[in-house]
Amino acid sequence: MNRWSWPLALLVLLGCWAWGQVPLAPAVPADEVLQLVQGLAIPDDLKAQVQAELVAAMAEGRLTPGVAYAFLSEVQSLSPGEQTDAMAMLVHALQGGFILDPLLNEALKGLRLNRPWPEVAGVLGLRINLLVAAQQVLGSQGLLASPAPRYGFRTTSASSPPPTAELVLETAWAIGDFLVAGGSPADLIPMTSLVETRLSRLRDRILPAELVDPVLEALSPALIQEIVELALNPERR
């Protein structure tokens, strides 16, 4: 069996998903999000861990309370074992310091379409692994150093994630979009082009040029391959 056999089988399945738009999440206070966690059929120590990580993520602007509330409301309908699995995956993502609204919105789509939890978990796992891999590879290349604030450009506050978190998200999400749509992990040139297009579009709009330009300069099929292989083979981390 070659190194892509199992990942390809998963991605063929994921490529069959035709998910629509998720309705806008309700505006809810953070306390109501924590109350939902308290009502889940999961171990108490996991509840405490989830609540602590959620408080930090919502305070830092990495997770919108309404998105978390909508996701947890759907998780309530899962079996106790599936709820535990979902919360363990959520903690893993929360601890990585990632921006999580897109991740939970994607899971929410599947849950609202009554997709089996293993399918939803497969997408979540792939997305989380790509976030972890992108963060690790870009960091190892020295590409996640925060640029100095620049007049006229949005700066990071205590309630907004740093530009480096946005960079990791956009890089991982571009690769994930390609794979979830059924693209082969061996098609490195199209993936590289997709990442380049996305980062170029966000340059000086969402992401400062000082952060994006070194990534665009370093971007290559070899760098994308490193991220993809690490994501599909997380035991190598």
Contact 170, 177 (CB under 8 A): no
Q: State phi, psi for 167 to the nearest 5 degrees.
A: -65, -45
109-117 long-range contacts, CB within 8 A, separation 24+: 109/19, 109/20, 109/22, 110/17, 110/19, 111/71, 111/74, 111/75, 111/77, 112/22, 112/74, 113/19, 113/20, 115/17, 117/78, 117/79, 117/82, 117/85, 117/86
Output the tens digit of pLDDT for each of the chain's 237 residues: 444 444 544 554 554 444 444 555 567 899 999 999 999 999 999 999 999 999 999 999 999 999 999 999 999 999 999 999 999 999 999 999 999 999 999 999 999 999 999 999 999 999 999 999 999 999 999 999 865 554 444 444 457 899 999 999 999 999 999 999 999 999 999 999 999 999 999 999 999 999 999 999 999 999 999 999 999 997 766
Which H or E run includes 117? helix 117-140
Report the residue count for the chain. 237
Domain ranges of the chain: 24-104, 116-237
For 60, which DSSP code? T
Quick one: tokens of 146? Answer: 């925060």
CA distance 79 to 64: 25
Q: How many helices (H) and strands (E) does the chain have?
A: 11, 0
Distances (CA, A) of 148 to 1, 62, 97, 135, 151: 48, 21, 20, 20, 10
Is 18 strand, coil or helix?
coil
Contact 91, 132 (CB under 8 A): no
